[in-house]
Structure 1
Amino acid sequence: MQYIDNIIFLIILIAGFGLFYKSLKEIYRNIQLGKNINRSDNPSKRWETMGRVAMGQSKMVKRPIAGILHVIVYVGFIIINVELIEIIIDGIFGTHRFLAGILGDGFYSFLTATLEILAVLVLIAVILFFIRRNFYSIKRFRMKELFGWPKEDANWILIIEAVLMVAFLTMNSSDWVLQQKGALAAHGSFPFSSNILAPMFNNISVSALEIIERSAWWLHIVGILFFMNYLYYSKHLHIILAFPNTWYSNLNPMGKFNNLDSVTAEIKLMMDPNADPYAAAPEVDPNATPEVFGASDIFDLNKVQLLNAYSCTECGRCTSVCPANITGKKLSPRKIMMDTRDRMEEVGKNINKNGKFVDDGKKLLDDHILREELWACTSCNACVEACPILIDPLSIIVDMRRYLVMEQSAAPNELNIMMANVENNGAPWAYNQADRLNWATE
């Protein structure tokens, strides 16, 4: 019976990581629904971009207040969870502060003191984030796409992080008092807990302190496992996906649109003087999926675009700088990414239920993203520039526009006039080619 705690801990640990692995598999499967795209060029530049943007948070600090608070939470939360290694070892083998014997009391004291300071900073930062998000009238946090679950999700994340930090500090405080009373071996330095929190525990009996310490210890580790599995349902997947997302980002200059391979091949054939226009068309596999110009659903988008959707943290920086949104139009680049992710989840649930995707009569276009939103975009790239992790909403907008124009001939009248002018006059304007230089006559 003395090992019952260790057995329970091991079961919870295996279940936690097992469920997390299952969630990651579903996310990977859903991303694989997209088309292949080659983003393996220039690996040194990609590693540098990932290190600078995802690891170094270089774009976050362009808005200093939110950026610095985010860096504190990011760095603190990651480093604090280094202690997860020790907790796992202690939980499995029933040891107490195992790393002290490995690192030596001097370095271990430095480590635990650092973790304490970081935990306090993280706690302060998440409280400020909570106040800022809920009690300050920041426009990008009050937009309609954040009503309901997105707003609740953001608050729950902050609450969970605060609870984890409080549990961590409570565990250290009660542990330190137990060490002073000789109930535990003395290891570590806890500048905040020993001076601020420990006085609240001094008059508590050893048996009660042990219950408090164990309760906080269990709450901390179970909370971390819960948080890890909650990520699948949360916008905070960017904690993990920001790294591959920045690695696979588009390294081309902003504003450079990709050409459709199918269109390029057709034009090359038309311009080839040796091509036989009367040659028999190549045989087509009757089971093959017909080539689609642009995108009407997630299956037409590429894998990086789907990765972008899962990586979006819904911060709204993209929407806050979007000129279309600022002038009152329906377009919100953040909503484009949220809608794409919602459609992926819808398709994923369909696959889970049926074993494969069964047509549900829905599409990303019209059922999630409206045409009015797509045509409101000025393709200025402000949203791409603003994103802290290099998400590209514009590429999805452009691909869906291509579908409307090339598959449905459903462009706005102004665009049809412009394309007719290009076809007839070689320019967007309704002037004859012979008159194009008249502006210079005087």
Structure 2
Amino acid sequence: MQYLPNILFVAILVIGIGFFVKNLGKLRRNILLGKEVDVNNNKPTRWRNMALIALGQSKMVVRPIAGLLHIIVYLGFIIINIEVLEIIIDGIFGTHRIFAGLGPVYDFLIASFEILAVLVIVAVVVFWVRRNIIRLSRFFKPEMKGWPKKDGNLILYIEFVLMLLFLTMNAADYSLQQMNAEHYLQAGSFPVSQYISELFGSLSLPNLILLERTAWWLHIVGILFFLNYLYYSKHLHILLAFPNTYYGKLGPKGQFKNLEAVTKEVKLMLDPDADPFAAPSEDTEDPSKFGASDVMDLNWVQLLNAYTCTECGRCTNECPANQTGKKLSPRKIMMDTRDRLEEVGKVLDANKGEFKEDGKQLLDDYITREELWACTSCNACVEACPVSIDPLSIIMDMRQYLVMEQSAAPSDLNNMMGNIENNGAPWPFNQMDRLNWSKES
């Protein structure tokens, strides 16, 4: 019976981490359903982007208040993990405050954690007010109904409760230290919880121990729950922001990639030594599908983008098409891509890793053609994203499919391309008549 709490703790820890690792495997599998793309160039720039954007939060502080509050919550998540490490060691070996031997350093760490926990609580409350009382418009777009709206609030509640449990645990521990309770050695500095402990002045020693142990267990179980909740939440960006910024686009934002199959055809047409009537060699591969109609047609970086989306809405807020009432929302493009990818993943799970056609695709079933053609390709969404997500690349790939596979471009665009083909210009005038305007007096 003496080691029962330790055994129970190890069991909970193994189950929690095991389930998380299993979901990470599914996440990796789903992302790698995308096409291969070479993103290993210019590594120093990629490392710098990751350090500045993901670690340094450089694009978050463009909006100073929200950026500062986000940095506080972010630091809370990163730094308090040191305290989580101590809890894990204590839970496995039955110790209490195993790092107390660090002396003044430990006192400083605990004091820092407590101050940071209070700041996180303040930031979470402000974020909740912005969502539910001020009701910022970008949090109430059509795509933010149902689960996305609940998820945004639920994550705030989880963070709030975890910080309260941490402070309650410390406050009870502080009281027990003052009472010289057995097993509760004098360690740590408690600039916040020492005042909270005054609320527990009427509790007996056994009740204080029960309170401290309850808060301790709920805190670590809550953290394991939060860890596994990430896979189902927009807060997956806590983990994926780092690889996503590393693999982000480095070229000019207005530069679009050329299709290899089309490039080969053009080069063949321009080659004076090429025989236009020659039959293709036997080893010549058929041209691949042009553009994208489903998630498997996108590359894996685009699928990583979809999972990394924070649903913050900065992209949609900056989108000129959305501002003028068009259906397009870059945030919805990313959310739809992720939802379709998750649906494909469930099909794979149900068929032991084999994908069987389910009669659906990203185009039409999730993203409409009206949304795609509303985009002005201005790159405002790409510039606004705090974690280097590129919704425009998905839009352009799906447009490419519509034009080159289905000849389904809007009539105005078809007219323009027809004029370029026939007249060498986008206007419906014969080349011989172009200068007629100059003869008019």
TM-score range normalised by the length of the shorter chain: over 0.9
> How many angstroms does 1:262 deviate by?
1.1
Q: Secondary structure at the match of 2:365?
A: coil
Equivalent in the alignment of 1:67? 67
- Quick one: which of 312, 317, 321 aligns to 2:318? 321
Question: Counterparts of 1:106 and 1:439 in 2: how far apart (Å)?
Answer: 86
Say if 2:151 and 2:233, in contact at 8 Å, map to a contact too.
yes
- Quick one: which of 140, 143, 146 aligns to 1:142? 140
> How many angstroms does 1:164 deviate by?
0.4
Say if 1:293 and 1:403, in contact at 8 Å, map to a contact too.
yes
TM score, norm. by length of structure 1: 0.96
Say if 1:77 and 1:122, in contact at 8 Å, map to a contact too.
no
Say if 1:308 and 1:391, in contact at 8 Å, map to a contact too.
yes
Equivalent in the alignment of 2:94? 94
Counterpart residue type for residue 162 of structure 1: F
Say if 1:77 and 1:119, in contact at 8 Å, map to a contact too.
no
Among all aligned residue pairs of Structure 1 and Structure 2, give the percentage whose two residues are the same amino acid: 64
- Deviations along 1:112-147, one digit per CA (max 9) or x if unpaired, are 100100011001111111111111131111111011
Equivalent in the alignment of 1:126? 124
- Deviations along 1:418-439, one digit per CA (max 9) or x if unpaired, are 1011112222122333455667
Equivalent in the alignment of 1:417? 415
Say if 1:296 and 1:403, in contact at 8 Å, map to a contact too.
yes
Are 2:43 and 1:43 equivalent residues in the alignment? yes
Counterpart residue type for residue 83 of structure 1: E
Are 2:290 and 1:273 equivalent residues in the alignment? no
Equivalent in the alignment of 1:342? 339
Instruction: Point out the more displaced range, 73-82 or 337-346.
Output: 73-82
Equivalent in the alignment of 1:20? 20
> How many angstroms does 1:265 deviate by?
1.2
Say if 2:268 and 2:274, in contact at 8 Å, map to a contact too.
yes
Are 2:368 and 1:365 equivalent residues in the alignment? no
Structure 1 residues 264, 126: CA separation in 2 closer, same or farther (over 3 Å shift)? same
Q: How does 1:24-423 map onto structure 2 within 5 Å?
A: 24-101=24-101, 104-183=102-181, 184-195=184-195, 197-283=196-282, 291-355=288-352, 356-423=354-421
Counterpart residue type for residue 55 of structure 2: M
Structure 1 residues 191, 437: CA separation in 2 closer, same or farther (over 3 Å shift)? farther
Question: Counterparts of 1:191 and 1:338 in 2: how far apart (Å)?
Answer: 42
Say if 2:261 and 2:287, in contact at 8 Å, map to a contact too.
no
Counterpart residue type for residue 209 of structure 2: E
Runs (5+) with no aligned partner, structure 2: none
- Deviations along 1:159-190, one digit per CA (max 9) or x if unpaired, are 00111000000000000110010011100001
Question: Counterparts of 1:76 and 1:431 in 2: how far apart (Å)?
Answer: 64
Q: Secondary structure at the match of 1:82?
A: helix
Counterpart residue type for residue 345 of structure 2: G
Question: Counterparts of 1:390 and 1:439 in 2: how far apart (Å)?
Answer: 48
- Deviations along 1:26-50, one digit per CA (max 9) or x if unpaired, are 0100000100011111000000001
Instruction: Point out the more displaced range, 261-270 or 245-254.
Output: 261-270
- Deviations along 1:205-234, one digit per CA (max 9) or x if unpaired, are 111011100010011100000000001111
- Deviations along 1:286-312, one digit per CA (max 9) or x if unpaired, are xx9961000000011000000000000
> How many angstroms does 1:277 deviate by?
2.2
Counterpart residue type for residue 204 of structure 2: S
Counterpart residue type for residue 215 of structure 1: T
Q: Secondary structure at the match of 2:273?
A: coil
> How many angstroms does 1:345 deviate by?
0.3
Structure 1 residues 213, 440: CA separation in 2 closer, same or farther (over 3 Å shift)? farther
Runs (5+) with no aligned partner, structure 1: none
Question: Counterparts of 1:407 and 1:283 in 2: how far apart (Å)?
Answer: 24
How many matched pairs? 437
Structure 1 residues 433, 226: CA separation in 2 closer, same or farther (over 3 Å shift)? same
Question: Counterparts of 1:336 and 1:370 in 2: how far apart (Å)?
Answer: 10
Instruction: Point out the more displaced range, 393-402 or 430-439.
Output: 430-439
Question: Counterparts of 1:289 and 1:61 in 2: how far apart (Å)?
Answer: 48
Counterpart residue type for residue 360 of structure 1: D
